[in-house]
Amino acid sequence: MTDLVAVARSLFGEGKGLLAADESVHTATTRLASFGIPAGAEMRRQFRELFIGAEGIERYLSGVILFPESLTEKGDDKKPFPKSLATRGILPGVKVDLGLEPIAASPQEFITNGLIGLPERLAEYKKQGAVFSKWRAAFRIDGDTLPSAEAMHENAKRLASYAKEAQTAGLVPILEPEVLYEGTHSRQRSRAAMAQVFQILFSVLDEHAVDCAGMVLKTSMALSGNDSGKRDTPEEVALDTLGSLLEHVPRQIAGVMFLSGGQTPDQATENLAAISGRAKEIDAPWPLTFSYARALQEEALALWKGKEENVSAAREAFLARLAKVSATLSA
Ligand code: 13P
């Protein structure tokens, strides 16, 4: 039987974190288009290969989250991506939710789909080499009204059902309740929304008897909304992010990882440095790390432009950013 606790903990190796390379077909297409790169299945494979195939990533990465289609795709080394990662000591994981859908009664908000047929898909992903999994829920802040109680409760129930199924299938669950950065809200409002989401989530996980030691929490940081006109200092972000986590996240979970959520690469690096530094000062109960998509990939994509001749410059930029982000954990 898989030792879920050991696998979950091994995602938090010294100075190591995750690359979230699990953009859906739609998100990958939009992301590539924003860099002027025409997308199709082969271009998406090259997009994954740009990062997964980069030499030396194992110094900084404990895991990579893949989109299901990448579990069976091959890198330029002719090995399936999960195999290519595993041979370098990097754990392959997979995004298993099927994306967001507006809530009928509150159409600005979302629920996450993907519970139907989940056990069968998890079994298949495991055979294909995945050892951990991820499910994302997203919460919009609007004044004091959103996120609504309905959105928080319904998403918490689905996260809990997912976590149970993943643990039963022998795949570590990463639960990602993302409080979105979009909006005009204050950092304090973001902190309060995160605390509320965590409180509801962990009480529902408890009701569903999810084994917290064999799961990971992936969260946003407490930030003023991107349209608020306010730029928080890293110290402010650290204080409020850890404040919300300490209120409601049990010490038993295997660890906490952060998404970048639309912050610039520098912001995501500086904020993580402050969070990590403060977590050490206060002796926070869980290990922390990064699980970034945009903040790790953006600079490389701008250089790559979908062209073979730019691959080495793009990989160099990716490794340089990985080194900076990783250094924040051991500073
Ligand atoms: P970002 O770091 O770009 O927010 O992506 C992380 C992620 O996994 C989103 O689901």
Q: Is 124 a catalytic residue?
A: no
The per-residue pLDDT for range 280-303, each reduced to its tens digit, is 999 999 999 999 999 999 999 999
Residue 39: the pLDDT is 85
Structural domain containing residue 166: 4-330
Q: What is the pLDDT of residue 1?
A: 73
Cα of 1 vs centre of ligand 1, distance in Å, is 30
Other CB atoms within a 10 A radius of the CB of residue 55 amount to 10
- What single DSSP character describes residue 81? H
Measured CA to CA, the distance from residue 232 to residue 88 in angstroms comes to 38
> What is the domain count for the chain?
1
Tell whether ligand 1 has an atom less than 6 A from the beta carbon of residue 294. yes
If you measure from the C-alpha of residue 192 to the centroid of ligand 1, how many angstroms do you get, rounded to a whole number?
21
CATH code of 218's domain: 3.20.20.70
**Helix H or strand E encompassing 132:** strand 132-139
The span from the first CA to the last CA of the chain, in angstroms, equals 36
Q: Which atom of ligand 1 is nearest to the CA of 176?
A: 10
Residue 181's pLDDT is what? 97
| Model pLDDT for residues 114-131, shown as the tens digit of each residue | 999 999 999 999 999 999
Task: Give pLDDT < 50 ranges for the chain.
Answer: none
What atom of ligand 1 comes closest to residue 260's alpha carbon? 2
pLDDT tens track for 256-279: 999 999 999 999 999 999 999 999
Ligand 1 pocket mutation, candidates 294, 297, 298, criterion most atoms within 8 A of CB: 294
User: Can you give the pLDDT at residue 2?
Assistant: 81
Residues counted in the chain: 331
Phi-psi region of 131 (alpha: psi -120 to 50; beta: other; left: phi over 0): alpha
CA 182 – ligand 1 centroid, Å: 14
Confidence at residue 287, expressed as pLDDT on a 0 to 100 scale? 98
218 is catalytic: yes
Predicted pLDDT of residue 203: 98
Measured CA to CA in angstroms, residue 179 lies from 136, 221, 283, 296, 325 at distances of 10, 8, 25, 20, 22
